[in-house]
């Protein structure tokens, strides 16, 4: 990668994968997979284009649009679209690279990709957002399709944006097909899709708790710190409460809301936070409201929650990449956390991962903190996107119960796959829990590399 500009986010994701592969027996048992890694680390195709649109003042605006079509060995490219001013090629390559192996762990036929634009929906009118989505899809439509590339939502892309883009795709191509996921329920969307990532990470942690405690513990009575306040964080919080846990924090880019009472957040308070986020407002706007000014909450401006939550049992980073630093990782260990699972993509820095993994290796079973990477723990969203694709292909709609059952099965299979693969390829100290980050990386990579080999992509 020395002949291309520095891409720090992508390089971090690449090095994290490579380090776990190198520190396992995978290349000893399958030396040919080194060539597969070399090929898989380069996207099959990167599309970059300009997006020209007009704001409500009649002024011309120009943004950069992207689609990174990283790997199609297992199926059509699949991954979200992100509209945020921070979007650049490095971030989209990192997300697309992670998506390859995340999608492999779902067990569904999906390749990996990611896309978006450096457009900021905040402060824009519905009309401006519609105009941007129409201009964006006008170009993107020539590069995607139900059997080619199926984008979804991500940061800044909700059901509203998906609807605008789907409408424009349909007009240009003159066909209705499942080309986007996260659609409205009346026109091809799947039940449980908005909830899926948040629910999925909690289902995954359920299996971690059960395995580490040998079936003696569950979420009941656990104090759970969550970052973020979007869909992932909201639905993870609601599922934790449903399972008997206590949610002690939520956050956004401006600061963290910390519960100081034994009750923690209630479902009604989370609903109020959801309404604020739909209105594209910040959590600090809630501080003076009746629900949050009773003394049961404190707001910490400009900070993530990890060093402010006190004693916790579970941490679920659910905001954005690199939101847990090495210092914060140690703070979570000192606070008694035993389980950390990423609802966000690459939520922990490499330093944080190293601290979590060292603690796991040096402590037996229940005494250790056990870390699960985003590519395994947060795959519930893309899994239900895959289920939405299946429903679209057969022109049927499954019930909430059916989709939720399939989601639970997929999360359990992903946990077991990472667990058993770690036992097979990674040595651990006696009594230590298996490395879920190594096991998940190896399991996802093996599946993709084998398919690429069958296709003749790295011979």
Listed in order, the ranges of the chain carrying CATH 3.40.50.720 are 195-377
Listed in order, the ranges of the chain carrying CATH 3.40.50.10860 are 39-173
CATH architecture observed for domain 195-377: 3-Layer(aba) Sandwich (3.40)
Residue-wise pLDDT for 244-255, tens only, equals: 999 999 999 999
Annotated binding site for substrate: 78, 99, 102, 153, 385
Q: Which residues are catalytic?
A: 114
Supply the mean pLDDT for the chain.
96
Q: What is the pLDDT of residue 171?
A: 98
pTM of the model: 0.94
Q: What is the pLDDT of residue 413?
A: 98
Annotated binding site: 78, 99, 102, 153, 197, 231, 385
Reduce the secondary structure of the chain to three states and give it as a string: CCCCCCCHHHHHHHHHHHHHHHCCCHHHHCCCHHHHHHHHCCCCEEEEEEEEEECCCCCEEEEEEEEEEEECCCCCEEEEEEECCCCCHHHHHHHHHHHHHHHHHHCCCCCEEEEEECCCCCCCCHHHHHHHHHHHHHHHHHHCECCCEEEECCCCCCHHHHHHHHHHHHHHHCCCCCCCCCCCHHHCCCCCCCCHHHHHHHHHHHHHHHHHCCCCCCCCCCEEEECCCCHHHHHHHHHHHHCCCEEEEEEECCEEEEECCCCCCCHHHHHHHHHHHHCCCCHHHHCCCHHHCCCCEEEEECCCCCCCCCCCCEEECCCCCCCECHHHHHHHHHCCCCEEECCCCCCECHHHHHHHHHHHHHCCHHHCCEEECHHHHCCHHHHHHHHHHHHHHHCCCCCHHHHHHHHHHHHHHHHHHHHHHHHHHCCCCCCCCCCHHHHHHHHHHHHHHHHHHHCCCCC
Annotated binding site for NAD(+): 197, 231
List per-residue pLDDT tens for the chain, 459 residues long: 556 788 999 999 999 999 999 999 999 999 999 999 999 999 999 999 999 999 999 999 999 999 999 999 999 999 999 999 999 999 999 999 999 999 999 999 999 999 999 999 989 999 999 999 999 999 999 999 999 999 999 989 999 999 999 999 999 999 999 999 999 999 999 999 999 999 999 999 999 999 999 999 999 999 999 999 999 999 999 999 999 999 999 999 999 999 999 999 999 999 999 999 988 899 999 988 988 988 899 999 999 999 999 999 999 999 999 999 999 999 999 999 999 999 999 999 999 999 999 999 999 888 999 999 999 999 999 999 999 999 999 999 999 999 999 999 999 999 999 999 999 999 988 999 999 999 999 999 999 999 999 999 998
Residue-wise pLDDT for 330-382, tens only, equals: 999 999 999 999 999 999 999 999 999 999 999 988 899 999 999 999 999 99
CATH of domain 39-173: 3.40.50.10860
Q: What is the pLDDT of residue 279?
A: 85
Q: What is the pLDDT of residue 2?
A: 57
């Amino acid at each position: 990668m020395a002949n291309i500009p520095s891409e720090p986010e992508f390089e971090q994701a690449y090095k994290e994968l490579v380090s776990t592969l190198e520190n396992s027996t995978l290349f000893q048992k399958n030396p040919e997979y080194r060539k597969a890694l070399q090929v898989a680390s380069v996207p099959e195709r990167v599309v970059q284009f300009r997006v020209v649109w007009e704001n409500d003042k009649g002024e011309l605006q120009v943004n950069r649009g992207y689609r990174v079509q990283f790997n199609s060995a297992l199926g059509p490219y699949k991954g979200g679209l992100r509209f945020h001013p921070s979007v650049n090629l490095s971030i989209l390559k990192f997300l697309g690279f992670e998506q390859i192996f995340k999608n492999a762990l779902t067990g569904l036929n999906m390749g990996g990709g990611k896309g978006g634009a450096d457009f900021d929906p905040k402060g824009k009118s519905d009309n401006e957002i519609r105009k941007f989505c129409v201009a964006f899809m006008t170009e993107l439509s020539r590069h995607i399709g139900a059997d080619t590339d199926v984008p979804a939502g991500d940061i800044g892309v909700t059901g509203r944006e998906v609807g605008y883009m789907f409408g424009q795709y349909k007009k240009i191509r003159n066909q209705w097909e499942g080309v986007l996921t996260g659609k409205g329920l009346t026109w091809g969307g799947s039940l449980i899709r908005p909830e899926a990532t948040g629910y999925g990470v909690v289902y995954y942690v359920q299996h971690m708790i059960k395995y580490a405690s040998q079936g003696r513990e569950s979420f009941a009575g656990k104090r759970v710190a969550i970052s973020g306040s979007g869909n992932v964080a909201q639905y993870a919080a609601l599922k934790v409460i449903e399972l008997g846990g206590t949610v002690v924090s939520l956050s956004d880019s401006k600061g963290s809301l910390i519960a100081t009472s034994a009750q923690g957040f209630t479902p009604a308070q989370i609903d109020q936070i959801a309404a604020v986020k739909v209105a594209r407002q910040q959590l600090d706007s809630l501080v003076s409201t009746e629900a949050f000014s009773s003394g049961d909450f404190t707001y910490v401006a400009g900070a993530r929650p990890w060093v402010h939550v006190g004693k916790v049992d579970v941490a679920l980073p659910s905001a954005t990449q690199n939101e847990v630093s090495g210092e914060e990782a140690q703070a979570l260990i000192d606070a008694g956390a035993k389980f950390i699972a990423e609802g966000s993509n690459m939520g922990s820095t490499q330093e944080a991962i190293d601290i979590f993994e060292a603690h796991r290796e040096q402590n037996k079973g229940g005494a250790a903190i056990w870390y699960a990477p985003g590519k395994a723990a947060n795959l519930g969203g893309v899994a239900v996107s895959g289920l939405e694709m299946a429903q679209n292909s057969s022109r049927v709609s499954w019930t909430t119960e059916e989709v939720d059952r399939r989601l639970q099965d997929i999360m359990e299979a992903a946990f077991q796959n990472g667990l058993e693969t770690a036992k097979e390829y990674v040595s651990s100290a006696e009594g230590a829990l298996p490395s879920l980050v190594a096991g998940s990386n190896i399991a996802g990579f093996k599946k993709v590399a084998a398919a690429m080999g069958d296709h003749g992509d790295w011979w």
